[in-house]
Amino acid sequence: MRRPGLTTLALHADRPLNPTASVSPAIFQTSTFRWPEVEAGAQFAGEHSPSAFYTRMGNPNQHQLEAIVASLEGSEAALSTASGAAACTLAVLPHVKAGDHVVAGKTLYGETNALLTKVLPRFGVETTFVQGSSAADYERAVRPQTRVIIVETPANPTLDVVDIAAVAQLAKANSALLVCDNTFATPVNTRPITLGAHLVFHSATKYLAGHSDVIAGVLCGSRELVGAAWDHLRVVGSSLGPFEAWLVIRGLRTLSLRMARHNENARALSYLLAAHPKVAMVRYPGLGSSPDHEIAARQMSGFGGMIYAELKGGDAAARSFVQNLRYFSLATSLGGVESLVQYPASLSNLTPDQKRAAGISPTAIRISVGCEDTQDLLDDVENALSLVV
């Protein structure tokens, strides 16, 4: 039978895991479950992610969410987590030990960077950050001890795009795992597992949930790799709560509809910015002028809702712009239906040196283009730019 489309999967992939007849999943807001008999306790305790034992180990709402995201990403299995940062940690931790080496893309979300530069070195695991974004740059960074290659594509906030298929081949040739942060692209725009990545993770806080009302994460991969992550999750205890899982499920129902609008609005806004005399630089993977456009056009079916830009006039211009916007709230996070704008240099937990190495300009802004009516967003940006002196 033909594989259903992503919108259909997002609406139905969890149905076999709904133990009730409710059309909207019931919320299993419970920490523990009754056992039918004494022996059941021991049996549940020996199972992988049991559905009805103890919610840190597993819960029907977690499993429903995992079934949907695995179907969207095209992975064998998925694991929900209490945050995107937890999903990232659980993607890497099971696969490294003292003496091992990690290769990482040059621009990564702050906590991913902190895992590699602050946490893992204490356990004898070293990371090399790749300077360019080509597969050859990655190849130069690989060592015999490399166990994991981790990339974020498009990267936060610079929107660098990594050639997933080429880096996946390199990982395989070196018996390493390719871990891919797919938060910005979502499976609607890029499906890294189908390009050869071993593990994909999301801050589900962002586009997957889509309404800026929940913190959550998901990790996707083979049954074996997701099983290894679950073995760590039960120890770390970073399980997703049932209500949070339900909120992400509800958001996922409209993921492909929302992404179509994010793609369209960001494309229109990137054109406006690229043509504006007060704008010094715009990065959007869909723009021919963006450095990684060719790779993006090959591996992305839409270019997403994030824009990275720099105004002429530096810090004063950027501050005036973000404060004169009406529909773009000045706030951290991204991927919700409402537009947000962030001044990364003022918020990121990277040091000035780390920002320079990651290619983050001190006066660039990051725009999360929401689902408002396109013309209202364009008018808002045009007006805020007109007020920049």
Ligand X SMILES: Cc1ncc(COP(=O)(O)O)c(C=O)c1O
What are 283's strand-pairing partners? 308
**Closest distance to ligand X from the beta carbon of 90 (Å):** 12
Give 104's contacts (C-beta < 8 A, 6+ positions apart). Answer: 112, 113, 116, 127, 128, 129, 130, 149, 150, 151
Closest CA to 75 of 208, 186, 175, 194: 194
Residue nearest to ligand X (CB): 84
- 340 forms beta bridges with 329, 368
User: Taking the complex as a whole, how short is the minimal distance between the CB of residue 214 and ligand X, in angstroms?
Assistant: 9
Q: What's the CA gap between 233 and 94, in Å, rounded?
A: 10
Sign of CA dihedral 362, 119, 221, 104: positive
Task: In angstroms, give the least distance from the CB of 107 to ligand X.
Answer: 10
Q: Is residue 389 exposed (0-12), middle (13-18) or buried (19+ Cβ within 10 Å)?
A: exposed
Q: Which is nearer to ligand X, 152 or 380 (CB)?
A: 152
For the question of residue 181 being annotated catalytic, the response is yes
DSSP 8-state secondary structure symbol assigned to residue 116? I
Catalytic residue among 206, 258, 267, 366: 206
Asked about 106 being catalytic, the answer comes back as: no
Does the annotation count 97 as an active-site position?
no
Q: Please report how close the Cβ of residue 53 comes to ligand X at its closest, in angstroms.
A: 26
Amino acid at 1: M
Site residues, ligand X (CB under 6 A)? 83-85, 88, 109, 111, 152, 156, 181, 183-184, 203, 205, 215, 217
Taking residue 7's Cβ as centre, other Cβ atoms within 10 Å add up to 16
Q: Pick between residue 82 and residue 385 the one whose CB is nearest to ligand X.
A: 82
Nearest residue (CB) to ligand X, 146 versus 205: 205
As a whole number of angstroms, the distance between CA 197 and CA 89 comes to 17
Q: How far apart are CA 42 and CA 125, in angstroms?
A: 36
How far is C-alpha 282 from the geometric centre of its chain's CA atoms?
21
Closest to ligand X by CB, 58 or 335: 335
- Which of 14, 100, 160, 181 is catalytic? The answer is 181
Please identify which of the residues 106, 109, 147, 163 carries the catalytic annotation: 109
Instruction: Name the token pair of 195.
Output: 């390009």
Residue 160 three-state SS: coil
206 is catalytic: yes
Single out the catalytic residue among 54, 56, 137, 253.
Answer: 56
Shortest distance, position 290 Cβ to ligand X, whole Å: 18
Q: Which is nearer to ligand X, 107 or 174 (CB)?
A: 107
CB of 334 vs ligand X, minimal distance in Å: 6
Q: Which residues of 337-368 are buried (b: 16+ CB within 10 A; e: fewer)?
A: bebbbbbbbeebebeeebbeebbbbebbbbbb
Q: Which is nearer to ligand X, 52 or 78 (CB)?
A: 78
For 289, phi and psi rounded to 5 degrees?
Answer: -80, -10
For the CB of residue 142, give the shortest distance to ligand X in the complex, in Å.
23
Nearer Cβ to ligand X (178/215): 215
Catalytic positions: 56, 109, 181, 206
